[in-house]
Chains A and B, each alone.
Chain A
C-alpha cells in the first residue's frame, strides 16, 4: 500500500451530504476485473450526460479545481454499497484525502487499505473549508498524518483523530495481510478448537 505521511494539495468542494458509493462509481463500471483505471468513471453520472458529453458545471470540471487532490464533502460520505471500486476511482482520479464530518464505516475501512486518507472534522470546520475553497482561487490545504493536523497557511488549522494502529499502517504503507499472518500460531490454535463442520465437508461432493 502507498504510505501516507503528509500531503499538500488543492481542495475541491463537493457540497453535498450522504454521497453514496453508487454516485462515486456507478454500477456499470463494476464489471471490470482490474483494480486500476476506475478514475475516468468517478462520479460518472454527475460528470457526464446521458450522451457522454461532459457536464461542464459539475464542480470537478471547473478549471479552477482541475488539479485538486483533496475532496471536501458533507456528512456520511461513502454510504451504501461496500464497493471498494469507489475508493479505487477516487485514488485513480488523483485524490489523496477526503475531508467530511462523517464517513460510512465500510468506505472508511476501504480507504485505509488504499492509502486514501479520510479526515473527520466538525461540521463547522468542513463548512469553513468549503467556504474558503469556493472563495479562494487555488485554495490549498496541508494534511499531516504525523501531527494529525490540517492547515491552510491562512489561519485555518484543525486537528483530527485516528486510531493509532490505522495511523501506523498508513504512515508505513503496511500490508496488513502480512501482519495478520504473523499470528499464524494463534490462528492455527483457534482452528484446531473450531474444526470445519462435517456437513460443510460434503459441500464439494454434491
Chain B
C-alpha cells in the first residue's frame, strides 16, 4: 500500500485515487470507494427517502456521520426553533439517523458543529481518505491530504446505498506558492489572491494540489481555510500533502487511530506526497510575498482587490461579458468603480463559517478586538464553528474580549454564511464577512457581502470601514 515500486511518478491525488478504485469497468467511470460520508440536514432528506422508496439499506452506517449545522439558530440552545420548516428538516434528519443507525451529533450534543469543522476536530477526518458530503465546501478536508469533494443529493443517496461513487477522473493542477506570507496576510488572503488570479472557473474540472514553502508554513487550520475555498475557484477538491504538522494535529484526537494503528497509519501517510517528477495538467506559480490582505468588491469571490487598492475601473475588463458582470455586480453592491476600499463603511460583521470559525481564527480576531470597541454603527457577531471551539475559546477568555468589545457571541452553526437560519442581512446592509461566498443575496436578500480574513473583519467592525490590518495598532 502506497509503494510506488516501478510505477511512474504519481501525484498525491493519483495515489489517493488509485487506492480507492473498486472497479474500473470498460467504457465506464471508475467506481471509487468512499471512506467517510458526512451528512447534514439540508441535502439529505430526499436521499434517505430514495433509499426507502427503493427498499435499499444504508450500506455502511459507521462510515457515515451526521450533524445539524445549516439551518439551526445560533441563539441559546434551549430555545425552540421558530421556523417550522427548518424544524421539520431537522426532525427528518433525527428520524433518518435513528432509522438507519447513523452516528448523529444532534443540536444539544457537545460535538455539534459545522460538518467540516467537526470531522477534523474529532479525528474522523484523516489523511489519505476519500470524503464526500452534500456540501461544496467538503474540499476543506483536503487539508489533510484527503480527496474530499461536494456532491449533490442523488450522489448522497448513491453513497448511502453503495458506499461508492462512479467518478470521471479529474485533471490535476498544482498551485505552487513560493516565499512567505507577510504579517497580517492569512490563509484566507492566499485563497482570495489565488481566486482573483485564476477566476471562479479557473480550476473547473481539476483537483488542486497546494504546494510550496508558504503552504508548508501554514497551520492545519490555515490549510483548511485554503482548501475550503478551492471550490470558489471551480475545483471540487484541493489537497495538501500530509506532513509532521498534519500528524501533530491529528494525533490523539478522539476517533484518530491509536497505538500501533497510529504508527502504521503515519507510515502510510508519509508515502502520499507527490513523487518527484509527477506531472500535473497545469501548474500555477504564486509569490506569497506579493499578496496583501484582500477584500472582495463584487458578487463572486474572484472580484477581489487588495485592501489598499481601489475598485477596478470598468474599462480594465478585457472581455465584454466580464465588464458587464462587473457593472451589474457594482450596481448590486451600491459601489462605484475607482472607490478606495478603505473608504467603504460596513453595517455588519460576521466572523464564522467553515472557512474561518476555528480557534486560530477566533484568536486572530480577538487579538484585533482586544481593548477596542465595535463602531456604534456596526452590528458584529462571532459564531464559533463548533461547540468544542466555543468552549475552548471561553476557556481562553476570548469570548470576554469579544463581548467587552461589543461583539455578539453565539452558538455554533453555519449561520450567516448562507443565511438559512434567522442570521441574515437586511436589504442594502453591507457586511464584512469571513465566509466564502459573496453571491447576490447569499447572506440575505439585497445584502452586500465583502469577503475578508478574520483579522480584517474584526478591524472593520471596530473602524466602521475596511482598514489595512498591516497598519493596525494592537492593544
Chain A positions within 8 Å of B, measured between CB atoms, are 16-18, 20, 22-23, 26-28, 30-35, 45, 50, 74-76, 79-85, 87, 102, 104-106, 109-110, 113-114, 163-165, 176-177, 179-181, 183, 186-187, 190-191, 194, 196-204
Chain A CB count within 10 A is highest, among B33, B170, B255, for: B255
Bound CA span A105–B201, Å: 10
B interface secondary structure, majority: loop
Q: Ordered nearest first, which 7 A-B pairs have the shortest CB separation?
A: A113-B154, A84-B152, A110-B152, A33-B45, A76-B201, A82-B150, A82-B136
A7 to chain B, nearest CB (A): 21
Name which residue of chain B comes closest to A74, CB basis: B321
Residue pair A187, B420 in contact (C-beta under 8 Å): no
Bound CA span A187–B158, Å: 13
21 contacts between A and B (CB under 8 A): A20-B437, A20-B439, A22-B442, A30-B70, A33-B49, A33-B89, A33-B92, A50-B427, A79-B300, A81-B437, A104-B234, A105-B170, A106-B151, A110-B153, A177-B54, A177-B161, A179-B28, A179-B166, A187-B163, A191-B60, A197-B261
Residue pair B419, A27 in contact (C-beta under 8 Å): yes
The stretch of B80-88, B333-341, B385-393, B451-459 that contacts the partner chain: B80-88
Bound CA span A201–B61, Å: 10
Is B103 positioned at the interface, with any CB of A under 8 Å from its CB?
A: yes
Is B179 positioned at the interface, with any CB of A under 8 Å from its CB?
A: no
Residues A176 and B158 in contact in the complex (CB < 8 Å), given A31-B85, A50-B427, A186-B31? yes
Residue pair B43, A84 in contact (C-beta under 8 Å): yes
Residue pair B420, A196 in contact (C-beta under 8 Å): no
Residue pair B200, A79 in contact (C-beta under 8 Å): yes
B52 to chain A, nearest CB (A): 12
Residue pair A163, B168 in contact (C-beta under 8 Å): yes
A200 to chain B, nearest CB (A): 5
Residue pair A186, B446 in contact (C-beta under 8 Å): no
Is B134 positioned at the interface, with any CB of A under 8 Å from its CB?
A: yes
Residues A177 and B150 in contact in the complex (CB < 8 Å), given A20-B300, A196-B63, A203-B103? no
Bound CA span A150–B355, Å: 41
Residues of B151-197 contacting chain A, CB below 8 A: 151-155, 157-158, 161-164, 166, 168, 170
Residue pair B234, A76 in contact (C-beta under 8 Å): yes
Residue pair B441, A183 in contact (C-beta under 8 Å): no
Bound CA span A16–B43, Å: 27
Residue pair A22, B439 in contact (C-beta under 8 Å): yes
Residues of B185-235 contacting chain A, CB below 8 A: 200-201, 204-205, 231, 234
B62 to chain A, nearest CB (A): 5
Residue pair A183, B46 in contact (C-beta under 8 Å): no
Residue pair A87, B166 in contact (C-beta under 8 Å): no
Bound CA span A19–B258, Å: 46
Q: What chain A residues lie within 8 Å of B43 (beta carbons)?
A: 82-84
Partner pick for B62 among A74, A79, A187, A200, CB 8 A cutoff:
A200
Chain B positions within 8 Å of A, measured between CB atoms, are 22-23, 25, 27-29, 31, 33, 35, 42-43, 45-46, 49, 54, 56, 60, 62-63, 65, 70-71, 83, 85-86, 88-89, 92, 101, 103, 123-124, 134-136, 150-155, 157-158, 161-164, 166, 168, 170, 200-201, 204-205, 231, 234, 236, 254-258, 261, 300, 321-322, 325, 328, 418-420, 427, 437, 439-442, 445-446
Residues A187 and B236 in contact in the complex (CB < 8 Å), given A113-B154, A200-B62, A204-B101? no
Name which residue of chain B comes closest to A193, CB basis: B1
A107 to chain B, nearest CB (A): 8
B250 to chain A, nearest CB (A): 12
Chain B CB count within 10 A is highest, among A74, A113, A203, for: A203
Partner pick for A110 among B154, B321, B418, CB 8 A cutoff:
B154
Residue pair B22, A183 in contact (C-beta under 8 Å): yes
Partner pick for B420 among A27, A104, A181, A204, CB 8 A cutoff:
A27
Residues A190 and B151 in contact in the complex (CB < 8 Å), given A79-B201, A200-B62? no
Partner pick for B164 among A87, A180, A202, CB 8 A cutoff:
A180
Q: What chain A residues lie within 8 Å of B28 (beta carbons)?
A: 165, 179
Q: What chain A residues lie within 8 Å of B70 (beta carbons)?
A: 30
Partner pick for B158 among A114, A177, A186, A196, CB 8 A cutoff:
A177
Residue pair A186, B201 in contact (C-beta under 8 Å): no
Residue pair A187, B418 in contact (C-beta under 8 Å): no
Residue pair A80, B437 in contact (C-beta under 8 Å): yes
Bound CA span A147–B101, Å: 46
Q: What chain A residues lie within 8 Å of B153 (beta carbons)?
A: 35, 84-85, 110
Q: What chain A residues lie within 8 Å of B231 (beta carbons)?
A: 80
Name which residue of chain A comes closest to B54, CB basis: A177
Q: What chain A residues lie within 8 Å of B92 (beta carbons)?
A: 33
Residues A102 and B63 in contact in the complex (CB < 8 Å), given A17-B321, A109-B151? no
Residue pair A18, B325 in contact (C-beta under 8 Å): yes
Residues A33 and B200 in contact in the complex (CB < 8 Å), given A45-B441, A105-B234, A113-B154? no
Residues A199 and B258 in contact in the complex (CB < 8 Å), given A30-B42, A165-B27? yes
B302 to chain A, nearest CB (A): 8
Name which residue of chain B comes closest to A113, CB basis: B154
Residue pair B42, A31 in contact (C-beta under 8 Å): yes
Bound CA span A34–B234, Å: 28
Q: What chain B residues lie within 8 Å of A105 (beta carbons)?
A: 170, 204-205, 234, 236
B84 to chain A, nearest CB (A): 9
Residue pair B440, A22 in contact (C-beta under 8 Å): yes
Q: What chain A residues lie within 8 Å of B328 (beta carbons)?
A: 16
Residues A76 and B204 in contact in the complex (CB < 8 Å), given A82-B43, A106-B151? yes
Name which residue of chain A comes closest to B160, CB basis: A177
B219 to chain A, nearest CB (A): 24
Bound CA span A82–B234, Å: 12
